[in-house]
Amino acid sequence: MSSSEVRAGVPGDGAHMQPFMDEVFRAFGRSEQRRWAQTYLWALIHVSGRKTPRRIALASPLPSAAARGLHQFVNVSPWDWVPVRRRLARLVAARTTPLAWTVTELIIPKRGEHSAGVHRRVDTATGRTVNCQRALGLFLVSGTQSYPVDWSLVLGGAWESDRERRRRARIPGTERARTAADHVVRFAAEVTAQPQLPRLPWVLDLTRCEDVAGVLAGLARLRADVVCEVSAEQQVLTGQHAAVVSTVSALMEVRHARQTHVLRGQTPDGRVRAVPVHTHAGAVGLPRPGNAGDAGSRPYRAVERPDPDGRQPARYWLTTLAGRRVEENLRLARSHAAALSATATLVQRFGLLDFEGRSFPGWHHHMTMASAAHVYQHLFGAPGGTAVPADPPRAPTAGPPDPPHAPVAALTSALN
């Protein structure tokens, strides 16, 4: 079945879909690829339930024979996802008022051992060992909205050395094992290399990161500003002449060395109350284990936000934006929560976890299309990002029972 026949069965989606396709998928050299991309994008937005090629073809106005073409497009077609994601990022930057870049981590439970990047890992939240893929997503944040514009799959262990396993998963030879910290710095380097993208602060949750100094050193080399949440035990350096090593929590316990700022906060029932926030009076640095580069010499401002009710531990941030007001830094810090919310929406509405193939390119293709669906819906869909109504789908023909639902992914708030 040709993509033209399939496209004829897809209901219209307003005046914006075609311009969006022309802009974001301009790198596609073949009209056939662009038509399948539009069909896949439409299905991710409008088809309910799991977003696999077979389910899409059964549950939508598409003919059931379209499943093969959709499978070919996402799993076999050799299109390059990098230019698509770059155009997606530029489109978001041009049509919104961006505030920050941020990164989320996604743990995807999997069965078997053949999906690209799958490995056994201890879930730090539960202490249990899980079989999973580990992904990192790059988001551009504007106001309360967050837009996915790039993804990385963390490889390691056998995926670095087992040539046969890599061949079966079609992992390029240039894709080597990197730590999560390396992937964050790579995201920042690629953003910096594109002059069309804005230079914005990087908002990160590093509370369980094993290489905070490495992440911050990489961002320092790129001259990127940061607002990074760190653990209470994060080591910092103070003192102008002789460096003194302390933890950020111990530093904030020295009352004469901190400044208190009283902000206004709102309780769940709508009441306004005073919220104290502390900043260290002087600049702090980071110890430089190994070759952490510029992280130790760069000055940071330490910020502590105690829990107003005293029920939860205080939270801590290091920021290079010492010239900005404390409330601005905390407002930026909320960008990470917006990205976690967007990732949950991608999972629930746009089929982020529904890729059933095993290949590295197929995974990246699906993640790219899910990101494009999210961006399209929030920039061009109905108010509030709700789905644009489509014609009722045809009743699906009889077929095999639905496959079991994929396990719910774990959205983690730190890079470790």
Would residue 332 count as lying in a domain? no
Q: Are residues 370 and 390 in the same domain?
A: yes
Q: Are residues 270 and 188 in the same domain?
A: no
Among 320, 354, 384, residue at a domain's last position: 320
pLDDT digits (tens, 9 = 90+) for 322-380: 999 999 999 999 999 999 999 999 999 999 999 989 999 999 999 999 999 999 999 98
Q: Is 114 found in the same domain as 174?
A: yes
Together in a domain, 144 and 51? yes
Q: Strand 119-122 relative to strand 129-142: parallel, antiparallel, unpaired? A: antiparallel
Is 333 domain-assigned? no
- Comparing 265 with 39, the larger pLDDT belongs to 39
pLDDT for 167-218, tens place per residue? Answer: 999 999 999 889 999 999 999 999 999 999 999 999 999 998 989 999 999 9
Last residue of a domain, one of 253, 288, 320: 320
Q: Are residues 41 and 183 in the same domain?
A: yes
Segments forming the whole domain that contains residue 45: 1-198+341-416
Closest CA to 374 of 114, 150, 191, 213: 150
User: What's at 40, amino acid-wise?
Assistant: Y
Choose the final residue of a domain: 320, 354, 376: 320
Lowest mean pLDDT among 254-258, 300-304, 320-324: 254-258
DSSP SS3 for 383: helix
Domain tally, the chain: 2
Helix (H) or strand (E) holding 257: none
82/189 same-domain check: yes
Q: Which range is least confidently modeled, 17-21, 147-151, 178-182, 269-273?
A: 269-273
More confident residue, 9 or 72: 72
Q: Does residue 326 belong to any structural domain of this protein?
A: no
What pLDDT does 268 receive? 67
Q: Are 22 and 169 found together in one domain?
A: yes
Residue 224 main-chain phi, psi, to 5 deg: -95, 135
The answer on 127 and 102 residing in a single domain is yes
Whether residues 269 and 411 fall in one domain: no
Domain assignment present for 335: no
CA distance 348 to 396: 22
pLDDT band at 241 (very low <50, low <70, confident <90, very high): low
pLDDT in tens, 22-54: 999 998 988 889 989 999 999 999 888 889 998
Q: Please say if the pLDDT value at position 90 is more than 50.
A: yes
Q: Are residues 262 and 279 in the same domain?
A: yes
Range in 64-68, 188-192, 263-267 with the lowest mean pLDDT: 263-267
- Share the mean pLDDT of the chain: 84
Helices 17-24 + 81-95 axis angle, to 10: 120
Same domain, 213 and 171: no
- Residue 66: band (very low, low, confident or very high) from pLDDT cuts 50, 70, 90: confident
